[in-house]
Amino acid sequence: MLNQMKTYQMYIGGQWVLASDNQTRKITDPANGNLIGVVPEATVMEVNEAVAAARNAFDNTNWGSADNALNRAQLMMALANKLRENAAKFAELDTLNCGKPLVESEGDVADSANCLDFFAGLATKTMGETVAVPMNMQSMVVREPIGVVAQIVPWNYPLLMGVWKIAPALAAGCTIVMKPSELTPLSILELAKLTEEVGIPAGVVNIITGIGEVAGAALVNHPDIDKIAFTGGTDTGMKVMTAAAKGIKNVTLELGGKNPVVVFADANLDKSAEWIAFAGMANQGQVCSAGSRILVEKSVYNEVIERVAKIVTHIKLGHGLDEGVRMGPVISKEQQDKVMSYIEKAKAEKCRLICGGSLPKGEQFAKGNFIEPTIFADVEPHHTLFKEEVFGPVMSFTSFDTEDEAVKLANDTEYGLAAGVFTESVTKAHRVVKQIRAGIIWVNNYHPTFNELPWGGYKKSGIGRELGKYGIEAYLETKQININLDEGQLGWY
């Protein structure tokens, strides 16, 4: 187990630096409040230096050129292998930093390495096209890296969300300034060390640490940034989009969700119950795609609640490094208070509490940000719990009578990130998934995510897609070139 508190520095232009005013932030374990790291608190000066380093690496080196694509791919694969070599350290660090069970962190590290390999494979495949046009022209379309990108990632998947953005940007030939969450910067700083070890050139990857109001705002408003990629809350996403609009910058936003899980009476309830519990409770419910609104056909409504509640009440709560733990703390005391306020609101609105609803008792929970996994039943569309994203271990159950009603309830949200459908009827599944307005839909499962497929949502869940071939597209510009093959005079004048 990692037991030494480390002092970190930011990575800018191939150098490890402190903040110019020497301000720092303490990073603590949300399970017990223990100090695990100290990081710099970036000022606008460090943001400017990081952008300048990325700008220089993009404008004055061959990093993004087409003839360097194979080298980029090889460096990315080397980074993936380095990550695998250090997998245990990274998994433990993410668990200590954000609280999730170790088994989840181990999966995140493996997925991160695979993501680097996947996009390394695309680095040499940003193909253009030739087009037949009139006027004796040779016309073509080429794809080029978009430039210097600002990337801001959240605290719920510190390493994985970082790699989701770093990998396609590197493959495309962009240079990067990344700001991880001020709560969970450690694994991204450790990843920066690996980029240095494998030989990714100075200035290509730059990591700044600090709060959104200072470092994040300076980054997204910087005139030398060509694209902004942000994952986080919808309210902050609106601010990022406003900044992008002022600078006419390309933007990718992956925001919130209030995701429905539709359970029909013909579903295999023996197989479905654990998936349903996993939909809402994985990573303490701190997932933008969490299936927190469970919509159940009335004839099996009480049975589904009973089955899921039986699973949820047996989830082992504790420090993510402890044996058998499947739910850790939420990220902070502020998040704990926020989630508890939603629980109290649901109680006040007369939603029926099935299980949980309190802070767990016991010495092992006293210093951490733990919340009992909680289920409410009889939640109606006008209730707060039906409408607002909680981002914690809280699930709501609502009944429906007909397929049409199920679809209407599923779409009754300002978000559109993800959804789940449970049914043994193939035809019903196809009918329903075609009508639900969400970017990701699972049938008879929930949460599996693949590097090969696009990730993103409809409505207020964001703009653009990550992962798959769509992920690299987000970091490429499209250029039209027309070459005149006619050596004669134009004759226009």
Query: Could you list the active site residues?
Result: 254, 288
Nearest CA-CA partner of 153 in 68, 233, 270, 87:
233
Report the C-alpha gap between 257 and 297 in whole angstroms. Answer: 22
Nearest CA-CA partner of 108 in 151, 162, 189, 152:
162
Report the C-alpha gap between 54 and 148 in whole angstroms. Answer: 6
Report the C-alpha gap between 252 and 474 in whole angstroms. Answer: 7
Q: Sheet containing 205-207: which strands, arranged edge to edge?
A: 15-17, 10-12, 205-207, 175-179, 148-152, 227-231, 250-254, 462-463
Nearest CA-CA partner of 295 in 378, 418, 382:
378
Report the C-alpha gap between 358 and 393 in whole angstroms. Answer: 11
Contact assessment for residue 119 and residue 75, using Cβ atoms and an 8 Å cutoff: no
Contact assessment for residue 286 and residue 329, using Cβ atoms and an 8 Å cutoff: no
Report the C-alpha gap between 159 and 161 in whole angstroms. Answer: 6
Contacts of 354 (CB under 8 A, 6+ apart): 305, 309, 375, 376, 377, 397
Contact assessment for residue 149 and residue 174, using Cβ atoms and an 8 Å cutoff: yes
Report the C-alpha gap between 94 and 270 in whole angstroms. Answer: 33
